[in-house]
Amino acid sequence: MMAKLYVFGIGGTGSRVIKSLAMLLASGVDINRFEVVPIIIDPDEANGDVTRTIEILKNYQQIHGKLSFTDADQNQFFKTKISNVNQNFRLVLNDIKNDRFKDYIQYSGLDENNKALINLLFSEDNLNADMEVGFKGNPNIGSVVLNQFKQSDDFKNFASTFSQEDRIFIISSIFGGTGAAGFPLLVKNIRNADHNLSTWKYLQDAPIGAVTMLPYFGVAPDDESKIDKSTFISKTKAALSYYEKNISGNNSVNALYYLGDDITKDYPNVEGAANQKNDAHFLEMAAALSIIDFAKKDATELVTIDGTAENPIYQEFGIKSNSNSLIFENLGDSTQLQLKKPLTQYTKFLVYLRDKIGTSIDQNWAKNINISNLLTQPFYSNYLKKFNQNYLEWLNEMAFNQRSFSPLNLDVNDSNLFEMVKGVKPNIGWMESGGKNYGRYDYLLSKHDKEIIKTSTQEQQFMDLFYNTTESLVKEKYKF
């Protein structure tokens, strides 16, 4: 049985990092053969970031489910299996919909002494806060409400299926409400799992990694909103002080990654629901890389004894050269090695499907696979096409964010197809078979069509063909 990596994404930031992770895995970035199990924790059921991520994960699953990965020489796109603890990848929180915080804690039923204590701990705004769209930057509310998740059926399902070889990773921001509160609570509940569970010892000593997102974006001023970016730094300092004592101070996690940036963009000040749909950000992709880094660490680096991590690891992410607009060359050598080939290769695949596949159905390689039929099947028309639209959105949103990440030219055509990788001059041969640009692409599709296994399913042949072709193109043009 394949070991599982349970990835808890807390709040909107958690969902966006999981989205970036899905994009990296789709492009073929290796995660050390783990099966990934995303679990989203967010009280805001209608949150736009959450719903978009769930759609992406479901489409990924549908694509992966039609493919097999028994041969290392075949397709590596969508290789990693993504599974779920329930249909919507979410850990369900009870009794918060249409509820004010004071109703949740049954304030009206308290005696006068307990009411006085609650009034000391929580402001009137806190007590009257509507929790349906989250905790609006109030970790004191979040810490009370989120403590219920250890009693949820989804958490119990996760805990009961956890095995000795599995690992856990937690994503949270530190400058809001949901993430800042949820991270330490989740660690505590895992390390102190109910001893009635047969797996409690596995959980107590589980390898746990986490990424803590310091401020990396702002929100526009809005007198009507409870969210104020001027409080982000003070909240971050308060959370770090708490983590110093209760996370790093007692060696609760085996690996803790820190990410933040002082170049920020103000998003619209939306407190939650469908309109909270922030653009993808480079740091969210970097956070996804921290998950992959954790998955690749040797088990001897992640030893836990009686709930205490031995020699915990603390890491930060840096870039090689500072720029407001990053391309591959601005990244460290190891990061370039991880990203250049898979992102370029998948984008080559995506661009052909976007611009050329509809006019290629009469080519021999297309007839051999029966492309005209494949294009009408759900695998392509419902799942892959939609996933690729989300992938393009992801790249474009990172490109127009601050700090931006724009390593690939997406506005390519038959005159500049291979001028895709910014900062890299493509190798253009004088006497290439098939001609230039899409002519060369089609020539290599015909060449690799002769190599793929014809007894495979139509979907498998299609993905094998395009993976092998784009791999050849990336090696030939850019030496990746």
The CATH-assigned architecture of domain 4-97+134-317 is: 3-Layer(aba) Sandwich (3.40)
Answer for the pair 272, 47: CB distance below 8 angstroms, yes or no.
Answer: yes
Answer for the pair 273, 280: CB distance below 8 angstroms, yes or no.
Answer: no
3-state secondary structure of 466: helix
pLDDT of the chain along its 480 residues, tens only? 789 999 999 988 999 999 999 999 999 999 998 999 999 988 776 677 889 999 999 999 999 999 999 866 689 999 999 999 888 898 876 655 656 777 766 777 878 887 777 787 777 777 776 655 555 555 566 566 666 677 778 888 899 999 999 999 999 988 665 766 788 888 998 999 989 999 999 999 999 999 998 887 655 554 555 555 556 666 677 667 777 877 888 899 999 999 988 876 775 645 544 455 789 999 999 999 999 999 999 999 999 999 999 999 999 999 999 999 999 999 999 999 999 999 999 999 999 999 999 999 999 999 999 999 999 999 999 999 999 999 999 999 999 998 999 999 999 999 999 999 999 999 987 667 777 899 999 999 999 999 998 888 999 999 999 999 999 999 999 999
Q: What is the pTM of this model?
A: 0.90
Answer for the pair 322, 55: CB distance below 8 angstroms, yes or no.
Answer: no
> Residues of CATH 3.40.50.1440 domain(s) within the chain?
4-97+134-317
Answer for the pair 59, 22: CB distance below 8 angstroms, yes or no.
Answer: no
Kindly give the residue spans of alpha helices, DSSP state H, lying in 128-281: 139-145, 153-161, 178-191, 200-204, 232-246
Roughly how many angstroms between the first and final C-alpha of the chain, as a whole number? 33
